[in-house]
């Protein structure tokens, strides 16, 4: 299927209303009627990475499987899909593409010492923003850089300068750049500790001074460095979206969402305290429909959605 060109999109699609005319599941459409006091019900929606859907030969089949498993949306990798095919799959399956993951962001980094590499990273991000908006998504997940590219200050300065060049497009399209907290040797507090901190990430997001750069906070990634609920409280409104996976401090490894020892009760309290409304993407092992149903149910149990 022919891919929609960026010129065609920017000439017409950029002026579509923010609500965009893609279908949503009945549960999502009725979310406002399901809000419960002291609960995330009606304000918390489940999505998952497209790579988790192991079955299905086409995007439409994969979207249908995600919906059948109990998810409200799905994340794609951008760039990397055909716009028209993705839109059609979303429409036929009745499930929105809520956001994307920026392609090659681990390998082609905004913190690279080589200006040519940074330019490639920027070009990819710009394309990801365009393609995400073209299918109705509202976030592009981004790993900003890596500590091996230089000192903390060099990684910080290069990545902020480079990513800032994408903010005008992000603001015009209404698509947020969502920085993920990952184990990338970045985000330390300079106190001599080897632990990444919520304070460092908060300062990093604030350096952009833009509502179009926030956090896609991964609930499992930094449980080893501190209480996840406290990270959420510190990051506050900087969090525009969530990722979730389990983690075991005892075994020092990632786990299924309902395994490990993350304090989901405190995570839920923290999300309510910051008045979080939005999406949470599962990021765990891929599998068939039954496996994905289990992932969806694990999210329900962890966040009190059922």
Considering the domain boundaries, does residue 24 fall inside one?
A: no
Considering the domain boundaries, does residue 96 fall inside one?
A: yes
Taking residues 70-80, report their average pLDDT.
97
Helix (H, G, I), strand (E, B) or coil at 160: helix
| Cross-strand bridge partners of residue 287 | 53
Q: Report the distance separating Cα 52 and Cα 287, nearest Å.
A: 6
Burial class (CB in 10 A: 0-12, 13-18, 19+), 180: buried
pLDDT digits (tens, 9 = 90+) for 174-187: 999 999 998 777 76
DSSP for 184-243, please give it.
Answer: SS--B-SSS---B-HHHHHHHHHHH--TTEEEEEETTTTGGGS-HHHHHHHHGGGEEEEE
Considering the domain boundaries, does residue 4 fall inside one?
A: no
Residue 151: which domain range?
45-222+230-303
Percent of the chain surpassing pLDDT 70: 85
Considering the domain boundaries, does residue 242 fall inside one?
A: yes
Band (306; pLDDT cuts 50, 70, 90): confident
How many domains are contained in the chain?
1
Q: Report the distance separating Cα 126 and Cα 115, nearest Å.
A: 16
Considering the domain boundaries, does residue 21 fall inside one?
A: no
pLDDT beyond 70 at 25: no
Cis peptide before 200 (omega within 30 of 0): no
pTM for this entry: 0.87
pLDDT beyond 50 at 46: yes
Domain harbouring 103, CATH code: 3.20.20.150
Q: Report the distance separating Cα 215 and Cα 235, nearest Å.
A: 8
Task: Provide the terminal-to-terminal Cα distance of the chain, rounded to the nearest Å.
Answer: 40
pLDDT beyond 60 at 31: no
Considering the domain boundaries, does residue 5 fall inside one?
A: no
Mean pLDDT of the chain: 88
Angle at 168 between CA 210 and CA 177, to 5 degrees: 55
């Amino acid at each position: 299927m022919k891919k929609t060109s960026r010129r065609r999109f920017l000439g017409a699609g950029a002026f579509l209303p923010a609500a965009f005319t893609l279908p949503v599941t009945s549960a999502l459409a009725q979310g406002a009627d399901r809000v419960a006091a002291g609960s995330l019900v009606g304000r918390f929606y489940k999505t998952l990475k497209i790579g988790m859907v192991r079955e299905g030969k086409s995007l439409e089949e994969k979207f249908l499987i995600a919906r059948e498993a109990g998810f409200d949306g799905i994340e794609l990798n951008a760039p990397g899909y055909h716009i028209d095919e993705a839109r059609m799959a979303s429409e036929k399956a009745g499930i929105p593409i809520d956001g994307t993951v920026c392609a090659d962001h681990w390998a082609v980094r905004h913190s690279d010492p080589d200006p040519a590499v940074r330019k490639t990273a920027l070009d990819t991000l710009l394309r990801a923003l365009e393609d995400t908006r073209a299918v109705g998504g509202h976030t592009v997940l981004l790993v900003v850089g890596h500590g091996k590219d230089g000192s903390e200050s060099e990684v910080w300065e290069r990545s902020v300068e480079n990513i800032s060049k994408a903010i005008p497009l992000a603001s015009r399209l209404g698509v947020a750049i969502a920085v993920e907290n990952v184990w990338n040797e970045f985000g330390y507090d300079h106190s001599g500790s080897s632990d990444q901190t919520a304070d460092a990430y908060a300062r990093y997001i604030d350096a952009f001074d833009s509502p179009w750069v926030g956090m896609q906070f991964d609930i499992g990634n930094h449980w080893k460095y501190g209480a996840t609920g406290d990270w959420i409280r510190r990051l506050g409104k900087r969090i525009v979206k969530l990722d979730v996976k389990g983690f075991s401090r005892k075994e020092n490894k990632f786990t299924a969402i309902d395994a490990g020892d993350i304090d989901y009760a405190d995570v839920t309290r923290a999300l309510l305290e910051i008045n979080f409304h939005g999406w949470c993407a599962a990021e765990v092992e891929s599998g068939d429909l039954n496996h994905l149903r289990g992932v969806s149910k694990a999210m329900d149990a962890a966040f009190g959605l059922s």
